[in-house]
Structure 1
Amino acid sequence: MSLRERKKDRTRLHLLEAALDLIARQGFAETTINQIAAAVDVSPRTLLRYFPTKEDVIVSWVEDGMAVFLTSLESRPASEPPHLALLASARAMIAHYQAREEFYLTIERVIASSPGISARKQEMTAVLAAKVTILLARHSTCSLANELYPAVVFAMIRVAFHSWVAADGRTPLLRAFDDASALIRFNDLDG
């Protein structure tokens, strides 16, 4: 990575962290592009080059979590049953979130309180589910399982996140996911 690319990544990270700090203190609606830019000592125009809208600041972190999920899934053994690969990938993504728990809890609070951002996250999850279905089809011939398992695992993730935010982080995210997992019985349709 060149010096210029590292500098851009650093600026992006500083913008994201400043935005989250401001949002945590004063709320999403009350936080302005100008305030975020000023906190990092850049122009609002520079911020808008990184993030076309304030909502993009939030959903960029959702994309990062989804990338962790996909990377984990792609690295799973081809012989592993799809539901186990999906559960392991979900746990990898959740571990990524738990590494910066307060940071991600702030993001998820914003998402939960904003119907527009929540809708964008749902759209992004639908795109991820379609990618996952394609990945699973490379290893399994059961199209029903390839479509059903991602839907079930993403529902479990959604419920775990909702529980985590509702408990204001007092219930660890991984435990909420494991509790949801315990309620589901996967049948191995890969046969």
Structure 2
Amino acid sequence: MRAGGRAKKWLWRWRANPLRRKDDVLEAWLVLAVWALISVGGTLAGVFTARAADDVFAQQRAERTPVQAVLLTDAPRAAATSYRALVKVRWTLSDGSTHTGMTLVDGGRKAGSTIVLWTDTQGDPTTQPPSRTNAAVEAGFLGAASALALTGVAFGAGGAARWWLDRRRIDQWGRQWDLVGPRWGHKTS
């Protein structure tokens, strides 16, 4: 044993010990279950969430198509460079049907100029789907977030259960001391 250190016994809660209580064994199994849930469950939650998100992004890329749209109104110019204005546009789908609607464009664009507009399967304007790289990054972040969320819930539930076991042990110690304490030595009163 190191100087000043204490000996650490691995798996001490499962070893035969006259001082071991049922609550100690229950706590050992609880800690094991929490760590198994964190390692296996967190990994599975992260992988499944990332795959589901990646599937959604792939479906968006498959369903959304870019079309050329013509601005029907001017977009007002603003002092800010990141200003976007809602303007009326017209676009033609691959089946030859013409549609009009509203979309956001950069400020300062003139009527008659063309933009790229993304449409869904019904031909309605929608947002641009994420690229494969952006989708992979976002899916990874969503998977990591779900793994961390499961880890937090498991760790919190395990901590609450251990707190309950500690309260129960303290109550048991109090009852046992009430039985044994009066038989010890002299009283100070």
TM superposition score category, shorter chain reference: under 0.3
TM-score normalized with structure 2 length:
0.27
Q: Which has the higher contact order (CA 8 A, sep 6+)?
A: 2
TM-score normalized with structure 1 length:
0.27
Which of the two has greater strand per residue?
A: 2
Higher Rg of the two aligned structures: 2
